[in-house]
Amino acid sequence: MIIEKAPAKINLALHVRARRTDGYHEIETLFAFLTHGDEVRLAPGDAGLTIEGPFASGLAGEGDNLITRAVRLFSQEFELSDEVSVVLQKNLPIASGIGGGSADAAATLRALAGLHRIAVDDRRLIACAEALGSDVPACLLGRSAIGTGRGERLVPLDGLAGTPVLLVNPGIAVSTATVFGAWDKVDRGPIGDGALLDRARNGRNDLEAPARAVAPVIGDVLDRLALHADPVLVRMSGSGATCFALYETELERSHAATAIRAGHPGWWCLESTLA
């Protein structure tokens, strides 16, 4: 059996520049990954996909998802059998802006590559990732990077590994298509240069305003994160509804998490660290 982590992804900044003729959007984004996330366990066999974990019910009855598509694409690209047994430990909320499904697909591709002794930088494997979705190539890379194009053109970055981070989701799923559809089509400019944290702090998430219109509780989450322990950065990730805060110390992160859990016991909180 091969075990692959599927780390949560956050967007330290997300600038939407234009709507493309292919239906996607031209973006610039700063990807970062956490030390926590889902887990994929894969072995030869024909048992298909089994989903476990606290958020397994959100994927029940799907029949086809990014993991099964990843297996199918991989088998077609490399002309190998698609008879594998996959167990997904689903620890991250569904449709939450932290790349759960994309990370699961990328972890599946890495596991399949490991099973068949294929290099993770094999161009065919990267092509599979690009075909599966805009965030999957970044999740396959699995490290901080700036993404352009649809987000699939990646340049690795360093600078924030070990930074304490708190993720908070108010318990709602937000449709990425709906949020992108509500974007006001105003290009507010590129991500600047400099150190990674400076680029993040001087940046923004252009999807925050449309996401807050769809789910006003996102504003409450952002306000709560800004209220406690003097965070270094507070922002919504992706198209929402998960928001995050970066801290200088683990103690500050813990104090903020304790306060938010006490005030909003129904919200999902994850204390983690940037990888």
Point out the residues that are catalytic.
9, 135
Element (H, E) at 48: strand 48-52
Mind giving me the DSSP string for 145-201?
A: EEEETTTTEEEE--S-TT-EEEEEE-S----HHHHHHT-----------SSHHHHHH
The encoded tokens of residue 3 equal 């075990």
- Three-state secondary structure call for residue 25: strand
Phi (first) and psi of residue 111, to 5 degrees: -65, -45
* Rounded to 5°, angle at Cα 131 from 176 and 155: 80
- Residue identified by tokens 């997904």 is 88
The encoded tokens of residue 219 equal 């504003």
